[in-house]
C-alpha cells in the first residue's frame, strides 16, 4: 500500500507556474476537462480518445505518476491530453484565473486521498480556496463532478460545495448520490471499488449564477459543519 503524499510539506507548498493551454495542446481553443488528482491518468487517456472535441488536463502531486502518464501521451501522440505535476491547492488557482472565459468546462475530483480524520482536514484536496477558484472559472452550466468510495471524504466536499451557494445539482439526479458516473470511463480506483462490489458516492454539480461568497465566511461556515469539536470557533462568530 503506497504512502500518501503530505501536500502540506514544504516541498509541495512551492508554487509552480503551470503552462498555458497553448503549450499543452495542439489546439488550445478546445474546451478543457481538468481532472484533479489523476494518478496514473489512464482514465483521462481513454477519455481523450473518446472526446477529441475536448482538451484533457490531469494534475497530480506524485511526480513519477505524471512522468509515466506523460510518456504514454507522447508515445500515443494524443495531443488533446496533458499531465502536469503540481499541488492542486497551490498552483491551480493562478492557472485557472489566466484561462480565456469559458475555456474550462468540466472539473473532476475522483476518489481523492482519504484524509478523513479531522486533524488532517487541511490535507484534503478540496479546500475552500480551490473550490472558489473553480467556481470563479466555470461559467453557468459548466460542471464539477465529485466521487469517492468513502462517505467521510465526500460528505465534507459536498458540504463545502453546497455552502458556497455557487453550484446546483441537475433536478433529475437522484439524491443523495447520483446513480451513475456521468463520464464514460471509470478511473483506476473506481474499477477497483467496482470489482470489490463497494459503493461509489457521486455528485454532479453545475455552476449557477450566484456570485462567489466571501472566502473567510465560507471557511468559517465549513469549519462549523465539518469540525464541530473545534472549540476555537464559537457558535456565533
Residues with active-site annotation: 113
Any contact of residue 83 with ligand SAM (CB under 6 A)?
no
Shortest Cβ 150–ligand SAM spacing (Å): 10
Element spanning 88, H or E: helix 88-97
Please select the residue that binds ligand SAM; options are 34, 60, 138, 154, rule is CB under 6 A: 60
Please select the residue that binds ligand SAM; options are 52, 62, 129, 159, rule is CB under 6 A: 62
Please select the residue that binds ligand SAM; options are 32, 39, 66, 81, rule is CB under 6 A: 39
Range in contact with ligand SAM (rule: CB under 6 A) among 24-32, 57-65, 99-107, 159-167? 57-65
- The C-alpha cell that represents 125 in the structure block: 484536496
Q: Which is nearer to ligand SAM, 180 or 214 (CB)?
A: 180
**Could you give the CA distance from residue 44 to residue 36 in angstroms, rounded to a whole number?**
11
Please select the residue that binds ligand SAM; options are 125, 131, 146, 221, rule is CB under 6 A: 125
The sheet with strand 104-110 has its strands ordered as 81-85, 55-60, 32-36, 104-110, 143-148, 201-207, 167-168
**Could you give the CA distance from residue 86 to residue 61 in angstroms, rounded to a whole number?**
5
Distances (CA, A) of 49 to 39, 42, 54, 192, 195: 18, 11, 10, 22, 24
Question: What is the CB-side half-sphere exposure of residue 216 using CA atoms within 13 A?
Answer: 2
Any contact of residue 88 with ligand SAM (CB under 6 A)?
yes
Shortest Cβ 23–ligand SAM spacing (Å): 20
Q: Which of 195, 32, 162 has its CA nearest to residue 102?
A: 32
Any contact of residue 5 with ligand SAM (CB under 6 A)?
yes
Please select the residue that binds ligand SAM; options are 47, 84, 104, 112, rule is CB under 6 A: 112
Strand partners, 148: 201
Any contact of residue 7 with ligand SAM (CB under 6 A)?
yes
**Could you give the CA distance from residue 161 to residue 132 in angstroms, rounded to a whole number?**
9
Please select the residue that binds ligand SAM; options are 93, 113, 149, 219, rule is CB under 6 A: 113
Shortest Cβ 60–ligand SAM spacing (Å): 5
Shortest Cβ 12–ligand SAM spacing (Å): 7
> From residue 170 to residue 189, what is the string marking binding to ligand SAM with x (rule CB under 6 A)?
-----------------xxx
Q: Which is nearer to ligand SAM, 46 or 168 (CB)?
A: 46
**Could you give the CA distance from residue 58 to residue 44 in angstroms, rounded to a whole number?**
7
With contact defined as beta carbons under 8 Å apart, do 53 and 29 qualify?
Answer: no
Which residues form the interface with ligand SAM (CB under 6 A)?
5, 7, 37-39, 59-62, 87-89, 110-113, 125, 187-190
Amino acid at each position: 500500500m503506497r504512502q500518501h503524499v503530505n501536500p502540506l510539506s514544504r516541498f509541495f507548498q512551492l508554487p509552480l507556474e503551470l503552462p498555458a493551454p497553448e503549450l499543452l495542446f495542439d489546439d488550445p481553443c478546445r474546451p478543457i476537462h481538468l481532472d484533479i488528482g489523476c494518478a496514473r491518468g489512464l482514465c483521462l487517456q481513454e477519455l481523450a480518445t473518446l472526446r477529441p472535441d475536448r482538451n484533457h488536463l490531469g494534475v497530480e502531486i506524485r511526480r513519477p505518476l505524471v512522468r509515466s502518464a506523460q510518456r504514454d501521451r507522447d508515445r500515443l501522440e494524443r495531443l488533446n491530453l496533458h499531465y502536469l505535476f503540481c499541488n492542486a491547492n497551490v498552483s491551480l488557482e493562478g492557472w485557472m484565473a489566466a484561462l480565456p472565459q469559458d475555456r474550462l468546462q468540466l472539473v473532476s475530483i475522483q476518489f481523492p486521498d482519504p484524509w478523513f480524520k479531522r486533524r488532517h482536514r487541511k490535507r484534503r484536496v478540496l479546500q475552500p480556496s480551490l473550490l472558489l477558484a473553480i467556481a470563479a472559472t466555470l461559467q453557468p452550466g459548466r460542471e464539477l463532478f465529485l466521487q469517492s468510495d468513502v462517505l467521510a471524504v465526500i460528505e465534507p466536499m459536498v458540504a463545502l460545495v453546497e455552502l458556497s451557494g455557487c453550484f446546483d445539482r441537475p433536478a433529475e439526479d437522484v439524491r443523495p448520490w447520483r446513480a451513475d458516473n456521468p463520464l464514460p470511463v471509470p478511473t483506476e480506483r473506481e474499477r477497483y471499488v467496482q470489482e470489490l462490489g463497494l459503493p461509489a458516492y457521486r455528485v454532479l454539480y453545475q455552476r449557477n449564477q450566484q456570485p462567489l461568497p466571501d472566502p473567510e465566511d465560507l471557511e468559517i461556515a465549513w469549519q462549523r459543519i465539518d469540525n464541530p469539536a473545534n472549540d476555537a470557533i464559537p457558535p456565533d462568530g
